[in-house]
Structures are given as structure tokens and as C-alpha cells.
Structure 1
Amino acid sequence: MSQKTMLLSATLSNGYGVQGQAWRAPENHRSNFTDIDAQVKLAQAAERGKFAFLFAPDFPGAGEELASQAPVSTLDPIVTLSVLAHQTTRVGFIATGSTTFNEAYNLARQFKALDVLSRGRVGWNAVTTSAPNAVANYGERVRPREQRYERAHEMIQIVQALWGSWGEDAWVHDVETGQFLDMDQIQPINLGGKHVASRGPLAIPPSEQGQPVIASAGGGEYGLGLAGRYASVAVGSSTYDFDVTRREREMYRSAVRQAGREADELKYFTGFMPVMGATVEEAIGKRMQMDEHLAPQRVPVLGLMLGLSLDASQADEPLSAAQLERARANPNDPRSARALEIARQGWTPREILAHGVIDYAPSPVGPPEAIADYLQEAFEAGIADGFWLQQATYAVADEFVDEVVPILQRRGLYHRDYRGATLREHLGVPRQYGQDPRLN
């Protein structure tokens, strides 16, 4: 039996990186937000690294932070992925689509069309929408959580029914008889619930993987219930505490079993944001350069994490012995223990911040071997099936693929080539067409 190996994915965001100030990084062209070539380059790097997929978040709104930070997502996930699918042949794509402010037929059509055109490499991250400035764009108020998830279940069921409404052998296209379709296999679904309905059918044939993969990025009781019934991918929380992450993975697997599915039908991914350089000092220096304009305002936040009163004037002086003696990890902030560990090594507040301690994803720091060591430790600890690269700037993807991936391959922790051509094959999850007959 072959050794189990990890899966890798990466964020497809705004053309700059996941850090709000990444647009100011010297390696990024200022126009990357509207330059599809930046996204194509990332997709091709991910494919060179044999990544299972790129994950495209989406936020259909705007906030005050845009005065100094780029939007978190690409211009439009479906439009962007349509281009990237044409510029690649193997890497998969998972796009976010709201179940709250879309109609089932529209989502079913968009995602299945993209899945067919990409030859079976697409997934749908089915999410609910509750951010007030996004909700307002649809002329509504925030719906109660229970209602949002009730609608989400209806949406997924109807979308999957629409995906299966074109029979797998319906496309006859017999030139001699003139029969294009076997209409007995093209059937309306006539499904509806309290919130969503559709007659169908959807006039799109199956892709090489049948239909798109469902992904879930929601937590809590409602999110677990949704993932357990439908998802093949779960994007979970990111923490340095392996026990916490392992417990979350097991909660997802338990939810899958409770729904009557096999636990391994869902692959759990957790995020990481490497700070890379030839040495730890070089890596910290690169991150400090990018975060130069943010550090002063973040020093007080670091103080709260450590139970100290800190301000920008102290950014470049190591904490004193008295401060270190008083410092305590904030029990209400899971990042704080890591911040305290770094502080006790003698770094300045600016350098502590450059270790990524304020990020909501683990930030292994240093040369490629150190990044590989972190991933090996995390994988062998059983915290995840795969790891989601959250690159501070897009340049990290090339560096990671060229320098870290070969180390993981040499250690037998990562595959040397794709196992197939579709996203389901990359993930090792079963083919599906239409609704899952095991679910009632």
C-alpha cells in the first residue's frame, strides 16, 4: 500500500496577496488587481507544483478598509476562473458562490458550464452571506442564521438535482439519424422548498468528473451540518495548536459519518502563511519591508496579545526583562501564545510582528527546509488532509513551488505528479452525478 501523501492548495485573491498591504510590495505591479496575467501566472505556478486546486474567496461588498487595502477577492471568481481554466490543464479551481443571494438555476448553470469547459476541474464553495455591507447590495437585511442555512440546504439540493437533470447518456449526436439528444433522459426536476425552487432541466452534459465538487468553509453547528451532508472539501480554521485543529478535523469527519457518508469522502484543509527567506533574518526582513506602514498601528495590538501596554515608539526595541516577566498570553486570543514565544527570543515588536504572529494562519519562518519541517510535523500529527497556502504576496507561490515542494517530494510526503485529470481525482473523492442517493 502506498504511503498517504498531503494535498496542497493556494488562495486566488486580488492579484497581490492575502495581506492587505501586499499591493505595495515591490514585487507586485500596482495594476495586478485588473491584470489577468498575474492570476494566470499564479495558476500556472500552482499547476507546476501539482496543487489540487486554487481557492477563490469572494466578498460581494466594499468597506472602509479599501482606502488603504486592496479588495480581498478577485474581480469576479467565475469570470476569472474561466480564463485560468483555459490557460491550464490540470490544477483545479474552487470558487465561492453565495447561497443567500443567488438563484439555484443561475449557480447550477455557471458552475456546471465551467466544470465542463475545464474538463472536470471545478468546485463550488457554497457559503451563506451575512456581512451587512454585502447584504445591503441586494436591498435586504441580514437574515437569521437558521434561515440562511435552511436556504443553503435547499440551494445545494436543487443545484445538484439540476446538475443531474441531463442524463449521462443523453447526448446521442447521431449525424445519420439526426438525433441530437435522447429527450427521455432530459427531465425537469420540479423541486422547491421554502426559499428556492426550479423546474429544470439544465441543458448541460456531465463533465469528466460528473459534476462540480462541493466545498464548505463555514464552522459551527450549521456549517458542520452542511459540510457533513454535501462537501468533499472543508476549509477549516488555522491555528498553531495542533490539538485544536485535529479536533476540528474530527468534528467534520464525524459530521460526514452522521450524514451516512464515508469520512474520507471529505478532505480537510487548514491554512498556513510562510515567511520565506534564505535565513530567518532574511525572511523577517522581507516581511518587515512589506508591513512597514502597518507595524506602528499593530504594536498596540501586540501589546494586548501579551498583556502589556505598548505603542509605536517601542517598535524597534526588544522588550525589557521586566516586560517579559509581566507578559502573559491573552487567553482570548489563540495567536498570543506564539507571540509570547517569539518575544522571549529577544526580537523587537516590529520583528515579532514580522513573524506573522498577528496573522490568522500559522506562519512558519525561514528557509525552505523550515517550511517543509512545519508541514511535515503538521501532516504527521494528523491535523489535516491538505494545506492551504495563503501567500502574503503572489511571489511566494513560485518560491514555495520551486523550493519547498521538491523537499516534500524527496521526503515522500507529497506526490510527484497528478494522479488524474479531474479535481475529484486530485482529491481522491468519489464521482457524483446529481443528488447523493444516500441522503434523504
Structure 2
Amino acid sequence: MTERKIILGMALTDGYGTLPGAWRAPNVDPTNYAKVEANIRYAQAAERGGFSFVFTPDFPAVRGGLESGTVSNIMDPLMEAAVISQATRNIGFVLTGSTTFQEPFNTARQFKTLDIMSHGRAGWNAVTTSDQLVAANYGKPVADRAERYQRAHESIQIVQSLWGSWEKDAWIHDQESGRFLDTSKLQPVNLGGEHVASRGPLALPPSEQGQPVVFTSGGPSPHLLEIAGRYASGFITEVWTIDEARASRAALRRAAEAAGRNPDDVKFIVGILTTVTPTVREGLDRRMSMSGEVIEARLPHLGAMIGVPIQPQHIDTPLTTEQLAIAHANPQDPRSEIALEVAREGWSPRDILAHGVIDYHPVTVGPGSVHADHMQEWFEAGAADGFWMSPDVYEDGVDAFVDEVVPILRERGLYPEEYVGSTLRENLGVPEQYGLGEWMK
């Protein structure tokens, strides 16, 4: 047993799952994208498993491929979370909001309102936005990196200042005396930078956790690490190997220390894509049945990853001894090491691809112990403080994870037996904060 425990979050996206054909699965309602009731069910299932939060990425633009694919995005993170919060009690909501195209006052108001509505369970995933499709929807050009990150610094400081502008003991609401508010404790912030500004104050009281928890997400670029180290309590990221994850986590912790913070106060949360089935073979078959033409299309990529040309007619034949002898991981792609390891286990190229070796997070396939082993190895190696799980199909994949994986993690003493508290901040194990952190004042 160890005092440090794994943190679990779950991606909440389109109502279907991470596999391209999840929306066509026999047990899935193809209209789930427009049904908040589906996301309520999935959040409730994750809450049954003690998950600290659901996480909503957000891409507010239309990508291609909608003729046969899905939108792969929640309709509106804040509006859906507001509804889901009324049907849950403990699970938190980490929602993406752009610092590039949203004004700090609106962000502060919306997220703190959700925090109050959910009794202290809201988190803001503060991100910069550089996608041209998104920029076009806001009628603005894509700003350069320096401007985007400077605006992010200004926005986060203004948002947190607005959150603290209604002091904790300002609200008197004394019916007998007739005194509603101590107005000396509700003051403008009068903050302005090069790109954004706000007078304030924000007329919203603290929630049970004070104010929302700040997250950020993405790769370990110097600009993003500076943002995360200075402001965030959670960093949601994409990494494929333990070595890569350990290096990124160490860089995050150094950034927190450079900002004058305790590095343990910033949680490093890595992604994992799950297919929970009684056997690995059943899991691979399930994944293939809902992958459409994706697997065949990725065959040349797999060959480039491991340095072995693979002909389409050999997609179902394991690599030969001669091929394995010359196979090597592409040093430019960390996923190549995983692909080579799976190839050496004797799987066919189709099976190797069904293992998800070209997906955007590590993929675990099979019985509960496979998933638990992966998380335990990463956690104990210092490669992660927690995981944000994306199921192959939401409709049965969340319950399967909760029923088959969570009990194993608990048996091994790696995961809490119950919620530590009722707020997101408590369940993440991060310190209290109201307004700007003391290290920023």
C-alpha cells in the first residue's frame, strides 16, 4: 500500500467511442451525439468507478470525413456539463476553453457558475488555439505563437483574479439585519495586458472548492510547460512510452519549481485507449470489426515504423524470422517501439495494427489485468500521476472498465476505495486556491 494513488479521468466526446465505427455498433444509438442522456449515463458509470473527472476536449469547427464518420466532439462542453452535474454527485468536469478566442470575463463567469452549480467540481482546461478552421469560425486570423501564449498568460491571470474578486466572507445574506453583502469585499480587479483586460468584479461567491481547478493539455513544449508550471493543477498529455512520459513529467515538475511551486501540486495525466474483453483475441476482433478501412490504410505506415516493407497480401501473416531480424524502431516515432514489441510477440500485421500501435495514445486490449498492469507499470515508474481513459465504445466500454479493471487496481492498493471528498480539488489531491495563487502575487 502506498499513500500516492492513481487518478482516473475519462474523455467525454461524441457519445460513441474512440473507434471509427463505434457509432455503428449494434448496441449503440446512432443519435447519441445529440443526446445528453447518453453522456449522463457514461459519467454516472465513471462515477461508480470513482473517477475524479470527465474531460472534454473541444474543437469548435467541422472537420472532414463526416459522410461516414462522426463529429468526434461534445456539442457544447459547458452546457452539457451543467446538465450532467445535476445527475452526479462526486465526479468532476474538466472542460476545454480557449484563451485565444474567448474573453476572460466570459470564461470566468461561465466556469465559476458551473463550479457553484456542481458544488465545487469544475475544472478549466485552458488552451491556446492555432487551427485555421477554428479561427475562421471566430472571424480572426491565426495569431503567432508568441501572441497566443502571451494572451494565455494574461487571460489566466485575469480569470483567476475575477474568481477571487468576491472574497470568501463577502456574502452576509442576513435576513434579520437586511445586510446582503459586504461591498468592501467585492472589488474590481482592473487588470489589463497587451491583448485582454477586465474591470471586474465578478459577482459570484466561492464554491465548495473555492474556484475551478486550472488544467492545461498538449505536448511538452517550453511555452506550454511554462503555462502549466505556473498556473495549472493538472496537465493532460499525449505520450506513448514510459521513458517519454518520465521525461515530460520531469520537465513539468521543473517548470512548477521554477514558478515557485511544489511540483507535487501539478498532476501529470496521460492518455490510454481501452478495449476490455475476456481475451486479447476477442479484443482485437472487436477493434477490427469497428475500424473499417483504417487498418488496411495504415499498413504502409506500420512498415515504415519498423523498417520492414509489408505487402497487402501478407497482412494476416506474422512477420518471418528474416523480417524480424532486420526490423527496427523508427527513432523519429516513439510509437515504433510499441509496434516492434507487438510484432515480436508473433501477431500478424493486421493484429499489430488492431493493437492500436498507430493511435494517438497507448492502447490496452484484453482482460482487466492487462489494463491494470499497464497503469501500474507507468505509475510506479514515475511516468504518470493518473490516466485519462478513452473507451473503444462508450455504451459498454465504460462499465467494462469499471467492473473489470477498477477492482484490480483497488486490490493492488493503487486506487482509492472511495472518493476522498466531494470536490474536484479534493479528489485530485491539489491544494486550495482562491484568486491568484500566492506564488503569483
TM interval, shorter chain, is over 0.9
User: SS at 1:71's partner residue?
Assistant: coil
The 1-side partners of 2:384 and 2:322 are apart by 39
TM-score (structure 2 length as normaliser): 0.96
Tell me how far 1:308 sits from its aligned partner: 3.1
- Tell me the residue number matched to 2:295: 295
TM-score (structure 1 length as normaliser): 0.96
Give the 5 Å matches for 1:352-431: 352-394=352-394, 395-431=396-432
- Tell me the residue number matched to 1:246: 246
Tell me how far 1:349 sits from its aligned partner: 1.6
- Tell me the residue number matched to 2:351: 351
Tell me if the contact between 2:367 and 2:404 (Cα under 8 Å) persists in the aligned partners: no
Larger deviation, residues 308-317 vs 393-402: 308-317
The 2-side partners of 1:347 and 1:247 are apart by 30
The 2-side partners of 1:406 and 1:102 are apart by 41
The 1-side partners of 2:255 and 2:19 are apart by 32
Tell me if the contact between 2:2 and 2:414 (Cα under 8 Å) persists in the aligned partners: no
Tell me how far 1:259 sits from its aligned partner: 0.4
Identity value in percent:
51
- Tell me the residue number matched to 2:143: 143
The 2-side partners of 1:147 and 1:28 are apart by 43
The 2-side partners of 1:362 and 1:295 are apart by 16
Structure 1 position 328 matched with structure 2 position 328? yes
Tell me how far 1:297 sits from its aligned partner: 1.2
The 2-side partners of 1:101 and 1:39 are apart by 26
The 1-side partners of 2:233 and 2:41 are apart by 27
1:437 maps to a residue whose letter is: E
2:440 maps to a residue whose letter is: L
User: SS at 1:8's partner residue?
Assistant: strand
The 1-side partners of 2:417 and 2:179 are apart by 44
Tell me if the contact between 1:295 and 1:315 (Cα under 8 Å) persists in the aligned partners: no
Tell me if the contact between 2:2 and 2:413 (Cα under 8 Å) persists in the aligned partners: no
Tell me how far 1:430 sits from its aligned partner: 1.0
- Tell me the residue number matched to 1:226: 227
The 1-side partners of 2:250 and 2:331 are apart by 24
Tell me if the contact between 1:209 and 1:422 (Cα under 8 Å) persists in the aligned partners: yes
Tell me if the contact between 2:57 and 2:73 (Cα under 8 Å) persists in the aligned partners: yes
- Tell me the residue number matched to 2:270: 270
- Tell me the residue number matched to 1:88: 88
The 2-side partners of 1:67 and 1:322 are apart by 42
- Tell me the residue number matched to 1:65: 65
1:230 maps to a residue whose letter is: Y
Tell me how far 1:388 sits from its aligned partner: 1.3
User: SS at 2:243's partner residue?
Assistant: helix
Give the 5 Å matches for 1:148-227: 148-218=148-218, 219-227=220-228
Tell me how far 1:44 sits from its aligned partner: 0.4
1:164 maps to a residue whose letter is: G
Tell me how far 1:397 sits from its aligned partner: 1.3
- Tell me the residue number matched to 1:435: 436
Tell me if the contact between 2:155 and 2:196 (Cα under 8 Å) persists in the aligned partners: yes
Superposed CA offset, 1:229-282 (max 9, x none): 10000112221x212211111111111111011111111111111232111111
Tell me if the contact between 1:5 and 1:414 (Cα under 8 Å) persists in the aligned partners: yes
Tell me if the contact between 1:54 and 1:94 (Cα under 8 Å) persists in the aligned partners: yes
Superposed CA offset, 1:52-72 (max 9, x none): 111110001112233332123
User: SS at 2:116's partner residue?
Assistant: helix
User: SS at 1:248's partner residue?
Assistant: helix
The 2-side partners of 1:368 and 1:2 are apart by 21
Tell me if the contact between 1:297 and 1:312 (Cα under 8 Å) persists in the aligned partners: no
User: SS at 1:87's partner residue?
Assistant: coil
The 1-side partners of 2:61 and 2:319 are apart by 40
The 1-side partners of 2:284 and 2:438 are apart by 52
Tell me how far 1:344 sits from its aligned partner: 2.4
- Tell me the residue number matched to 1:280: 280
Superposed CA offset, 1:129-154 (max 9, x none): 00111111111221110100000000
- Tell me the residue number matched to 2:101: 101
1:430 maps to a residue whose letter is: P
The 1-side partners of 2:121 and 2:430 are apart by 13
2:75 maps to a residue whose letter is: L
Number of equivalenced pairs: 439
Tell me if the contact between 1:104 and 1:155 (Cα under 8 Å) persists in the aligned partners: yes
Tell me how far 1:2 sits from its aligned partner: 5.7
Tell me how far 1:284 sits from its aligned partner: 1.2
The 2-side partners of 1:312 and 1:297 are apart by 10
User: SS at 2:387's partner residue?
Assistant: strand
Tell me if the contact between 1:275 and 1:355 (Cα under 8 Å) persists in the aligned partners: no
- Over 3 Å counting, the alpha-carbon distance change for 1:340 and 1:157 in structure 2 is same
- Tell me the residue number matched to 1:14: 14
Tell me how far 1:216 sits from its aligned partner: 0.9
1:421 maps to a residue whose letter is: S
Tell me how far 1:311 sits from its aligned partner: 4.7
User: SS at 1:364's partner residue?
Assistant: strand
- Tell me the residue number matched to 1:24: 24
The 1-side partners of 2:356 and 2:298 are apart by 11
User: SS at 1:371's partner residue?
Assistant: helix
Tell me if the contact between 2:21 and 2:292 (Cα under 8 Å) persists in the aligned partners: no
The 1-side partners of 2:63 and 2:312 are apart by 26
User: SS at 2:252's partner residue?
Assistant: helix
The 1-side partners of 2:311 and 2:62 are apart by 30
User: SS at 1:268's partner residue?
Assistant: strand
User: SS at 1:432's partner residue?
Assistant: coil
The 2-side partners of 1:384 and 1:345 are apart by 26
2:11 maps to a residue whose letter is: T
Tell me how far 1:290 sits from its aligned partner: 1.2
The 2-side partners of 1:10 and 1:392 are apart by 12
User: SS at 2:438's partner residue?
Assistant: coil
The 1-side partners of 2:293 and 2:24 are apart by 10
Superposed CA offset, 1:98-146 (max 9, x none): 0000111100000000000000000000000001111111112211101
Tell me how far 1:227 sits from its aligned partner: 0.4
User: SS at 1:388's partner residue?
Assistant: strand
Tell me how far 1:315 sits from its aligned partner: 2.5
